[in-house]
Structure 1
Amino acid sequence: MSLKDNSQLKKNKVPYRQYSDYLKEKYGQKVYKLPVKLNLTCPNRDGTCAYGGCIFCGEEGGSFENLEQLSVRDQLLTNMAYIGKKYHANKFIAYFQNFTNTYQPLDSYQRALSDCRLENIVGVNISTRPDFLGEEYLLATEEACQGLDVCFELGLQSVNNHTLKILNRGHYLSDFIEGVLRLKKYPFRIGVHLIMDLPWDDELDIIEAAKILNALQVDEVKLHSLYVLKNTTLEKMLLNGEVALLNKETFQKRVILFLSHLDPNIVVQRIIGRAPKEASRFCNFGESWWKIRDEIIDQMNMQSIEQGSSIR
C-alpha cells in the first residue's frame, strides 16, 4: 500500500465505536430503527415535577415523525415496508422516541411493547427520563420483550446540576445515577443523551460527563448540538438576549474532548442530531449535520485522537 493510500485510509477512519458497526457485528447485517410515536407527555410538563417541559423541547417531544394516528403495530409495519424497500433491510429496532415513554398508564405501556413482537423486529429502544423508571415498568418491559434486545435511552443532557435547573429538566444528576443503577438489575442496555454545546456548561463538565458514563459502565451514548425550535422557551430566551449560543468550532471541540475521554467500549449512536428546518429557529449552525460530523472525524484523525485516547 502506498503512503498516499495509507493516508486516505487514516482520513476516512471513524475514530469512535460507531453504532451502525456495533449493530452489524451483533446481527450480521445492517439494522435500522423504526420510530414509534405515542400520544404522551412528560412529568416536567404537567406539574408532576415541573411545568412547561424542557426549554428546548417542542410540541413533538423529541420526535418529528407523523404516524401517531396509527397503532404501534401499523406504525412499525408502515415504516418497515418503506425502510426495508429503500435500504434492502431485513432487521429492525422499534424506537419509542417521543416524550417520556414510562410516564403513561402501565397497561398502555404493556400493549405498546407487545405490539413490537413482529417478524424482523430484533430490539426495542425506549426513550424516557432517568427519574421515571418504576419497577413495575421495568418488570413489564422484561416480560413483554422476552427474546428482544432492549435499550433504555435516558435523557440526561448535562451532568451540571445548575444547567439541568436552567433547562427545566425536573431531575438532577443523582436521579440519573440512581436510574442507571436500577436498570443495571435487568438485562437491558443503557443509552444516554447529552447536549455538547450548552452555554452554561464548560469543558470540565464535558470531561466529567464522559467520566461518569465510564464509571457507570453505560452501553451507548447519543450526542446532540443545541438546536432552537420555534415556539419554545429557548427561542424566547434567544430572541430576548437571555442566552448566547456557542459556535460550531466550540461544539466540535467539545465533542472531540468528550470522545477522547469516553471508554472505547461504549457505543456511540451519533455525534450530532438534526431537526426539520421548518421547525427550527437555529439548528446545527446553519450547516448539514453530516458535514459537521465529517469535520469532527477529520479533525480527530488529523490529531491522532480516538475514543478513549485521553484515558489510556
Structure 2
Amino acid sequence: MTKPYRLYSEALKQQFGCRVHKISIDAGFACPNRGGSRQQPGCLFCDPQGSGASGIARRLSIAGQLEQGKEVMRRKYRASRFIAYFQPFSNTFGPVERLRHCYEEALAVADVVGLAIGTRPDCVAEPVLALLAELQRRTDLWLELGLQSCHDRTLAFLRRGHDYGCFLDAVARVRRYGVRLCVHVILGLPGESRDEMLQLADEMARLHVDGIKIHLLHVLRGTALGDLYEQGAIRVLEQEAYVQLAVDFLERLQPDTLIQRLTGDGPRETLLAPLWSLNKWEVLNAIEQEMARRGSLQGCRCRYR
C-alpha cells in the first residue's frame, strides 16, 4: 500500500533492494551542553543515558554493538543490510581523528551500508563536515541535527544552548559540503501554539531539508522535564491532538522530504507521559487514516514548492 508521505524505510528498500534497518550504537561521545565546556546540566528533556540508549550494549566495541544488533534485526525484521546509527549524545563532538576511527570501524562491519550520525547544530565544525563529505562519497550517510523548535524562546526554555540562528548557520555549511541532512523536531513543546508549531513545518519546507524526524513530546522520569510534569507545571498532547497536528505538519513539508520518524516512543520503564505513545502502530495508523479522511498528501499545502 502506498503511503501518503515519503517513508524513509521504503526509500531504503528501493535503493538497496532489501530491508535495511538502523542499529543504534554508543561510541562514548559526550555533549558540549552536558558536562562539556559550558558546564551546563543538559537539555530539559534529555535522558541521563542519552537519546536512544535503552538496550545498547555499551560494554561492547562499536563493531561488537553492530554484530549484536544485526542478530536482533535479522530475527525481528528479516533485515539484511544495516545502517550504523551513532545516536546517544553528540557524535561529532571530538577530534576528527577519533571520529574517523569510529566511523571507519562501523563501516568495516559486514553488511553495514551506511552511517547516520546524530549531533547538534553547534558541533559541526568545518573539519568534521569535510570528513563527512569524504565518507558520503563511498557510503550512504546522513547527518542528523537536533533542532526541536525554530523559536528562540522555546530553545532557551529547553536549555538547548544554541539559538535558531546557530541552526541556520549549520545548515548553510552542511549544504556547502553536500552532506545529506535530517532534522529532529518536537511537537507539543510547552508554551508553543499550533500556529508556532506549523511555522516550524514551513521553515523545514523553506530550507527543503532532505529528511525529518517528527517527535511528539514525551516525558521521561529522571529528567528536568519529568520533574516539571510531576509538579503539574506542563501538560502533554492527547493522541487525537497529536494526530491532527502531525498531519498538518506533513501537509506543509516539501513533497520529497523523507520522513524518518512520525512519532516518539520513550523507554517503557521511564516514560511518564503520554502513555498512549507506547502504542506506536496505533498512532501511525491514525495519522494515515486522518490523511485518507482529508484526502491529503505530504506537501499538499507546502508554501515553497
TM over 0.5: yes
Larger Rg: 1 or 2? 1
Number of equivalent positions: 301
Does 1:25 pair with 2:14?
A: yes
Q: CA deviation at 1:40?
A: 2.6
* TM-score, normalising length: structure 2: 0.93
Aligned residue for 2:58?
A: 68
Q: Which runs of 5+ in 1 are unaligned?
A: 1-11
Q: 2: CA distance between counterparts of 1:152 and 1:109?
A: 13
Measure, in 2, the Cα distance between the counterparts of 1:248 and 1:90.
34
Confirm or deny that 1:52 pairs with 2:41: yes
* Residue-by-residue CA offset, 1:259-301 (whole Å, 9 max, x unaligned): 0101111000121021121111124536511111111110111
Percent identical among aligned pairs is 33
SS at match of 2:188: coil
Deviation readout 1:157-195 (Å, 9 max, x if unpaired):
111111111111111111111111111122321001111
Structure 2 residue 3 is matched with structure 1 residue 14: yes
Alignment match, 2:271: 280
> In structure 2, what residue type is equivalent to 1:103?
F
Moved more, 293-302 or 244-253: 244-253
Distance 2:234 2:123 in 1: 29
Which deviates further from its counterpart, 76-85 or 116-125?
Answer: 76-85
Instruction: Tell me how far apart the structure 2 counterparts of residues 14 and 162 of structure 1 sit (CA, whole Å).
Output: 35
Whether the 8 Å contact between 1:277 and 1:283 is mirrored in structure 2 is no
SS of structure 1 residue aligned to 2:250: helix
The CA deviation at 1:235 is 1.1
Q: Distance in 2 between matches of 1:261 and 1:79?
A: 35
Counterparts of 1:124-163 in structure 2 under 5 Å?
A: 124-144=115-135, 146-163=137-154
8 Å Cα contact 1:225-1:251 kept in structure 2: yes
SS of the equivalent of 1:184 reads helix
Partner of 2:228: 237
What does residue range 1-312 of structure 1 map to in structure 2 within 5 Å? 13-46=2-35, 48-49=37-38, 51-63=40-52, 64-117=54-107, 118-144=109-135, 146-285=137-276, 287-311=278-302
- Does the 8 Å contact 1:58/1:232 carry over to 2? yes
What does the per-residue CA deviation read over 1:62-109, in whole Å, with 9 as the maximum and x for residues that have no partner?
Answer: 022321111111111221233224433221111001111111233321
Q: Distance in 2 between matches of 1:305 and 1:48?
A: 46
Opposite residue 227 of structure 1, the aligned amino acid is H
Q: Amino acid of the residue matched to residue 69 of structure 1?
A: R
Residue 222 of structure 1 and its aligned partner are, at CA, apart by: 0.6
Change (3 A) 1:286 1:262: closer
Q: Which amino acid aligns with 2:133?
A: E
Q: Find the aligned partners of 1:286 and 1:144 in 2 and give their Cα distance.
A: 36
4+ runs of 1 displaced by more than 4 Å? none
1:143 deviates by 3.7
Of 285-294 and 186-195, deviating more is: 285-294
Deviation per residue, 1:196-225 (Å, 9 max, x gap): 111221222222212211222211001111
Kindly indicate whether the alpha-carbon contact (under 8 Å) linking 1:50 and 1:168 is maintained by their aligned counterparts in 2. Answer: no
What one-letter code is carried by the residue in structure 1 that aligns with 2:116?
A: N
Alpha-carbon spacing, 1:246–1:88, altered in 2? closer, same or farther (3 Å): closer
The one-letter amino acid paired with 1:296 is: I
What is the TM-score normalised by the length of structure 1?
0.91
Q: What's the offset of the Cα at 1:140?
A: 2.5
Question: Does the aligned pair in 1 maintain the 2:277–2:283 contact within 8 Å?
Answer: no
Whether the aligned pair in 2 keeps the contact of 1:225 and 1:284 (CA below 8 Å) is: no
Preserved CA contact (<8 Å) 1:55 1:232:
yes
Structure 2 Cα separation of the partners of residues 224 and 100 of structure 1: 18
Q: Give the deviation of 1:52 after TM superposition.
A: 1.1
C-alpha distance in structure 1 between counterparts of 2:56 and 2:249, whole Å: 33
Q: Distance in 2 between matches of 1:164 and 1:275?
A: 21
Moved more, 31-40 or 12-21: 12-21
Contact preservation (8 Å) 2:250, 2:299: yes
- Please give the secondary structure, in 2, of the residue aligned with 1:81: helix
Mind listing any 5+ residue stretches in structure 2 that lack a counterpart?
Answer: none
Could you tell me whether the CA contact under 8 Å between 1:110 and 1:144 is conserved in 2?
no
